[in-house]
Homo-oligomer: A and B are copies of this chain.
Amino acid sequence: MERNESISALLNAGDYNLLPSLSVDCVIFGFHENQLKVLLLKHRHLEMWALPGGFIGKEEPTDAAAYRVLKERTGMNEIFLEQFYVFGELDRYQKEFHMQDLKKDGIDVNEDLWILQRFVTIGYYALVEFSKVNPTSDILNEKCTWWDINKIPALILDHRKILDKALATLRMHLNYQPIGYNLLPEKFTMPEFQKLYETILDKKLDRRNFQRKMLGFQILHRLKETKKGVAHKAPYLYSFNLKKYNNALNEGLNVGW
């Protein structure tokens, strides 16, 4: 199906299949070669990029809509997903912006069309294992790729604000939630684990203090094997103790109090 036919099909179906006024937008973080990455979509007409997002079915829970978007863009089912903020300002939705886009697609629409009305969007952030993702575009965009968090291109509408808030929230959450299970490979060294924290927090951490805390939380198994291909003093490999890791996620790590 041609793109403009797919878009027309969406425009026709939306009015009775989709919940009005509400959408989801997903900030999908991955970790690769000691860099924090975000998955973005290239706009079909503009030299701008967008967060993966979508609408919510009339009979679809909001979280299920976010999982569906993630599955479609990454190919993955098991993803750590967290709702983090609702963006409900009046200036976030720009009718003219979307009308222009549709005109370039050769689609003329009435300004009463559902997709041109005000939308409040629910922001979700996801943590995924970079190597397992198969980035896939949607019909409103022309490609889907990873971007380094320090080199984010121009984003449409308020998507930069949504991305920044997701990163700030992720950093806050490190104060009481463990992180790493969906970002690191199955086996990793303590320096690799520390590097993940340092990359997200964008600062150096004390090596001994980090190791002491992490071992204290009891969320790690130290494996019998060591890292191969390292010249001397090969570092231990670790994996997550998933039961304790999930307990810590649910109950909070109580780092502060």
Q: Could you say which of A30-38, A102-110, A144-152, A249-257 contacts chain B?
A: A249-257
Q: Which residue of B lies closest to A86 (CB)?
A: B122
Which stretch (A4-12, A131-139, A170-178, A234-242) binds chain B? A170-178
Which one, B20, B88, B176, contacts A172 given CB within 8 A?
B176
Contacts of A86 in B (CB 8 A): 62, 83, 86, 122
The verdict on A158 contacting chain B, using a C-beta distance below 8 Å, is no
Stretch binding the partner chain, chosen from A41-49, A53-61, A72-80, A222-230: A53-61
| A257 with B175, Cβ < 8 A, contacts A21-B20, A90-B61 known | yes
Q: Does A67 contact B (CB under 8 A)?
A: no
Q: Which chain B residue shows the least CB distance to A66?
A: B88
CB contact between A252 and one of B120, B122, B175, B254 (< 8 Å): that residue: B175
Contacts of A22 in B (CB 8 A): 21-22, 120
Of the candidates B61, B172, B205, B253, the one whose C-beta lies within 8 Å of that of A89 is: B61
User: What's the nearest-Cβ distance from chain B to residue A244, in Å?
Assistant: 18
Complexed CA–CA distance, A176 and B176 (Å):
9
- Chain B residue nearest to A88 (CB atoms) is B62
Inter-chain contacts of A58 with B (CB < 8 A): 118
Q: Is A63 an interface residue (CB 8 A)?
A: yes
* Mask: chain A, 97-120; 1 = CB below 8 Å from B; 0 = not: 000000000000000000000101
Across the two chains, which residue of chain B brings its CB closest to A255? B256
Which chain B positions have C-beta within 8 A of A61?
A: 88-90
A214 → chain B, closest Cβ, in Å? 12
Min CB distance A61 to B, Å, is 5
Closest residue of chain B to A206 (Cβ to Cβ) is B257
Taking CB atoms, residues of chain B closer than 8 Å to A122 are: 86, 88
> In the complex, which of the residues B85, B118, B172, B201 contacts A19, with contact meaning CB atoms closer than 8 Å?
B118
Apart from A19-B120, A83-B86, A256-B256, list 12 A-B contacts with CB within 8 A.
A19-B118, A21-B22, A59-B90, A83-B85, A86-B86, A88-B122, A175-B175, A175-B252, A197-B257, A201-B257, A205-B257, A255-B257
Q: State the CA gap A85–B58 with chains docked (Å).
A: 20
Which residue of chain B lies nearest to A19 when distances are taken between CB atoms in the complex?
A: B21
Residues in B with CB closer than 8 Å to A63 are: 88
Task: Decide if A88 touches B257 in the complex (CB within 8 Å).
Answer: no
- The interface residues of chain B lying within 8 Å CB-to-CB of A174 are 256-257
